[in-house]
Amino acid sequence: MRATKLNWNLAQHYYFDHNATTPVAPEVLENMRETMAEVYGNASSIHYYGQAAKRHLEGARRALASRFQCDPREIVFTSGGTEADNLAIFGVARRKPGSHIITSCVEHPAVLNACTQLEREGHSLTLVPVDGAGLVSPDDIRRALRPSTSLITIMHANNETGVLQPIGQIAAIAREAGVTCHSDGVQTAGRVPVQLNAGPDLVSVSGHKFGAPKGIGALFIRKGIELQPLFYGGHHERDRRAGTENVPGAAALGFAAANLSDWSGLAAFRDRLERGILSRIPSAQVNGGGTARIPNTTNIRFDGIEGEAMVIALDLRGYAVSSGSACSSGAVEPSHVLLAMGLSPAQARSSVRFSLGPANTETEVDGLLEAVSSAVAHLRRLSPEVVHG
């Protein structure tokens, strides 16, 4: 069957949704294509083809370890961030049945739903709150500790607001208490400097957030930390993750880690976008502004406007952004992250996330600003009862 080229009409569209996923960098794609075509052996086979695959796998592990400063033996490849989070959380907790787990109420569902499943399996769970800026207080973590606590899991940066948690302090509290600490580093690894050997015992990484493809990720497991595996099968990944290794995916992840784009410059574009929106639309407000954030993200609420409607209005103008709301059984649920920060359901529903990436230009940012102004004006004309600001 002949593949049909999809007509995405990409030339007229601009991508501002990098926290959802990033495009695969062309060099990464080429690296992956070559590996897929030429290095097809099973990395467990002892013949020439197997050994070539093994070399690529271990090269990728070394590249990742060198970028994120840890020992290659501390890296386990997974199918992505969700699996890395699940491996860390179930892996620690299931070794201590009935133990206590601490997490925050702004975590990604990959963490929150893993923790609530553990609750159903007989563990107890403390959800620590966040303040108005979206920050977890290290003191709340300390107060939540119990003799039976087996795990603290707190994300590094929030996917909706970009807010960075004080993960160094939280890891130090865990270490002092002799409790294993995991951090979901999916929105930071590959984007801001991450030094794995200095913080939590377990850190999740996802390739598709920094130019590698979907379906590959990794879990950093500090030397000495024992995990119960999620899968049972062969002795792959030193008995920590059974299943024939995804060598092209791992190679792409290693290559992307070794050849990172610089995301730090995006703060200037993000701030330009924020300033522009706040000055043109006075009723707009930044959710999670005023605290340390990853450089590419801003989450803005436009009171009186549905975030979903803004996403569609901007899409029609050629700009891809996102709202934090989740659609469950036909109803749009407000974001649990924004509610936890003290926003009302209406304010949470009126919020939009803009997440920039290394390929965005100043001209695109200015175009987005124009599009936001025109979309707000249009949507406010459609609902005249809202307060105009």
Query: Under the rule (CB under 6 A), what is the footprint of ligand PLP?
Result: 80-82, 85, 108, 110, 155, 159, 184, 186-187, 206, 208, 217
Contact criterion met (CB below 8 Å) for 247 and 43: yes
Closer to ligand PLP by Cβ: residue 208 or 293: 208
Neighbour-count burial of 26, counting CB atoms closer than 10 A to its CB (0-12 exposed, 13-18 middle, 19+ buried): exposed
For residue 102, give the nearest of 130, 131, 125, 136 by alpha carbon: 125
Beta carbon of residue 89, minimum distance to ligand PLP (angstroms, whole number): 12
Handedness of CA 59, 65, 68, 69 (dihedral sign): negative
CB of 80 to ligand PLP, least distance (A): 3
* Residue at shortest CB range from ligand PLP: 81
Structure tokens at 14: 């601009």
Nearer to ligand PLP, 80 or 254 (CB): 80
Rounded to a whole number of angstroms, the minimum distance from the CB of residue 216 to ligand PLP is: 8
Q: How far apart are the first and last CA of the chain?
A: 55
SS3 168: helix
Catalytic residue among 70, 105, 181, 327: 327
User: Count of H helices and E strands in the chain?
Assistant: 13, 14
* Smallest gap from residue 326 Cβ to ligand PLP (A): 12
324 versus 358: smaller Cβ distance to ligand PLP: 324
Cβ proximity to ligand PLP: between 110 and 170 the closer is 110
Q: Looking at 330-378, which runs of residues are DSSP E strands?
A: 331-333, 351-355
Determine whether 181 is an active site residue.
no
Q: Report in angstroms how near the CB of residue 82 gets to ligand PLP at its nearest.
A: 3
> What gap in Å lies between CA 105 and CA 56, rounded to an integer?
39
Of 146, 220, 137, residue with least CA distance to 178: 146
Q: Which is nearer to ligand PLP, 247 or 294 (CB)?
A: 294
Task: Kindly list the catalytic residues.
Answer: 327
